[in-house]
Structure 1
Amino acid sequence: MSKSKSKQNTKYKDYLATGGGGNYGIIYEDMLKHPVYKSLSLGAKQFYTICRIQARSKASTQCLYKHGVETGVEYDTSYFVLTSKHLEQYGYRRNHSTRYFDELIEKGFIERVENNAHRHKVNVYRFSRKWLLNSS
């Protein structure tokens, strides 16, 4: 094995051993096995994971805090924002995200709490458990 390949493998093992660092999102096994989750498109499933990760990110919490100060609302950890800038970092364009947001809202995984696009401010979302009540 070449020296550079050996370094790459060691680096990858270190990444796995330390958990990789950065933000993470938790999705439980019972959700993954639920018929409503299974009915989501593959893109919506991936997008939900991104929402979970982004909700825990420093950039998202700071943006939500700033928005809360401006509007006089205090948001708990079930709320999140996902700006165009954040979407671009994950490789999404706005039109793709709208489709996936709509699917996740329709199936009950997230709720749009504030639709502020007309005000040129962030939209605020909240994770929801309404999907448990859906039978589709």
Structure 2
Amino acid sequence: MSEKNDRNPLDDIEFTPDLIRGVKKDVSESHNYPGNSEQVETDDKSEEVNEVLQVETADYQELFQEISLLREKLEQFSQGVESSYSQLEEKVSGLSNFMLDLQEERLNGDVDLESLFGRVKSLENSLDSLPG
């Protein structure tokens, strides 16, 4: 046997992954490869899926940013409520003490009308400055 006959003709073919699948990337040659039209359709669908995933990923990122912003605003609001509540407690406590002092003076009978009117005016101002 000659040397040419011992040689395998497949040895001359360059190996590529596309060769194994029988798919050529060039769409213009699709008529030469029966599996190529399916590959092109799959690539198109894959691109569509990737586009949808990119849009959904962008939507999720936007939602995540909005949620983070809402959390920050909620935290600020909570701190504001706590601060307002503390201020309200202080004012109510002061008003309660003021009312107790007035009741004590009334019971003792040492009520100075000018002092009483001043205290009532102060009480009205305190009530007007209460939040809500």
The structure carrying a bigger strand percent of its residues is 1
The structure carrying a bigger helix percent of its residues is 2
Task: Please identify the structure whose Cα radius of gyration is greater.
Answer: 2
TM-score when normalising by structure 1? 0.23
TM-score when normalising by structure 2? 0.23
| Higher normalized contact order (CA 8 Å, seq sep 6+, divided by chain length) | 1
